[in-house]
Amino acid sequence: MRRWLSNSIESIRTMLRYSGKSEMVRRYFFTNGFDGAISMLGVIMGLGLLGNVENFIVVTAGLGAALGMFVSGFMGTYVTESAESEKRMRELREVLLTDVSNTVFDEAGRIGALVAGLLQGSGSLVFSVCVLSPYIASLFVGGLGAYSLPLSVTLGLVVLFLLGMLLGRMTRQRVVLTGIKMATAGVATALILILIDWLL
Amino acid sequence: MPERHELVVSRIVLDVLKPHTPTIIEFAKSISAVKGISRVDVSILEVDTNTETVKLVVEGAGINFEQVEAAVKHLGAAIHSVDQVVVEKISK
């Protein structure tokens, strides 16, 4: 099982490398994760500031938004990357002056676009659901309802900070600084929402 | 009575144009999976922006050229020329 899993991961990595998408996938997984976490923070804060909104409504709205972000991330990336793969195949055909259909590049282009789409979509889904998780937990654990908002906001900021750190590590920048930058974006979103609520 | 024998291809040298990916290590490993091949030697002759020209030497007992050609093509490469072939006579 472990060997099968490791072989599968290795072959997906190879496909992504052959299709020229490995760097892009890594980068955009975090970007979409950032989008997902911030958007969910916005949904939760927005509904939270309304007051007297049942947790069930927050969970339903949040899951709807998360699903929407998954579909948007998947479709956007899949369609774009499929077109990109076609372009790459055309370029390869022109360079090699030979038919390149039914080659590893053909397979890699198709599988790479699908994997890229799934990873992009799941990036926003995983991180947005992660931010929403205290609300989801409150539906099953009694007494947690009152703490869902502060827990979700805290978790959202922690997720953003960790995402920033990972992104910083990946791009070989100062990890704590990139983490703080990302978390600051979350704080800014929360402050803007509070300001809008105060003005209205 | 004449001696009965079989002709087998034991070495083929090819001039191949391939993209930079797969690397020559992956390329050699993939070609070595072709039945009848026991040794693969790949050397880079020329490097361009998108492609590289390599000298591919395959050795073995009974190489099937069509299978080698298909494997090369599957890796997104193109055979430019067959530069050398060694055929051996094996007594039955």
Among the ranges given (A89-98, A131-140, B43-52), the one the predictor scored with the smallest mean pLDDT: A89-98
- Written as one string, the DSSP assignment of A79-110 is HHHHHHHHHHHHHHHHHHTS--TTSHHHHHHH
pLDDT per position as a tens digit, A178-188:
889 888 988 89
**For testing contact with chain A, the best of B15, B17, B18, B21 (most A CBs within 10 A):** B21
Measured CA to CA in angstroms, residue A169 lies from A20, A21, A30, A142, A174 at distances of: 21, 19, 12, 39, 7
Residues 6+ apart with CB under 8 A from A136: A59, A129
- Segment A145-169 shows an average pLDDT of 89
Give A20's contacts in chain B (Cβ within 8 Å). 21
Closest CA to A57 of A43, A68, A70, A42: A43
Torsion angles phi and psi, residue B41, rounded to 5: -130, 120
Residue A5 or residue B2, greater confidence: A5
Separation of alpha carbons A149 and A131, rounded Å: 10
Contact list in A for residue B19 (CB cut-off 8 A) is: 92, 95-96, 105
Residue A20 has pLDDT above 90, yes or no: no
Closest approach of chain B CAs to the CA of A10, in angstroms? Answer: 13
Whether the CA torsion A55, A57, A60, A66 is positive or negative: it is negative
What interface predicted TM-score (ipTM) does this complex get? 0.73
Residue tagged 């938004």 (tokens): A65
Contact B76 A104 (CB under 8 A): yes
What pLDDT was estimated at residue A79? 94
Is pLDDT above 90 for B92?
Answer: no
Tens digit of each residue's pLDDT (9 = 90 or more) over A29-57? 888 888 999 999 999 988 888 878 888 89
Residue of chain B nearest A15, judged by CA positions: B22
Count other Cβ atoms within 10 Å, centred on residue A17: 17
Residue A26 pLDDT greater than 90, yes or no: no
Q: Is A110 on the interface with B (CB under 8 A)?
A: no
d(CA A190, CA A49): 10
Does the CB of A98 have a partner CB in chain B at under 8 Å?
A: yes
User: In which band, very low, low, confident or very high, does the pLDDT at B1 lie, cut at 50, 70 and 90?
Assistant: low
For A24, A105, A109, A159, B78, the CA distances from A86, given in Å and listed in that order, are 17, 10, 8, 36, 19
Instruction: Tell me which H or E stretch contains A29.
Output: helix A22-50
Q: Tokens 């060997």: give the residue.
A: A3
Q: Does B3 have pLDDT greater than 80?
A: no
All residues of chain B having their beta carbon less than 8 Å from the beta carbon of residue A17 are: 21
Beta carbons of A100 and B21 less than 8 Å apart: no
pTM over 0.90: no
Q: Out of A91, A96, A104, name the one closest to residue B17 (CB).
A: A96
Of A18, A97, A98, the CB nearest to B22: A18
Domains of chain B in start order, with CATH, are 5-91 (3.30.70.1340)
Cis peptide before A150 (omega within 30 of 0): no
* Per-domain residue ranges of chain A: 21-199
- In this prediction, residue A83 carries a pLDDT of 93
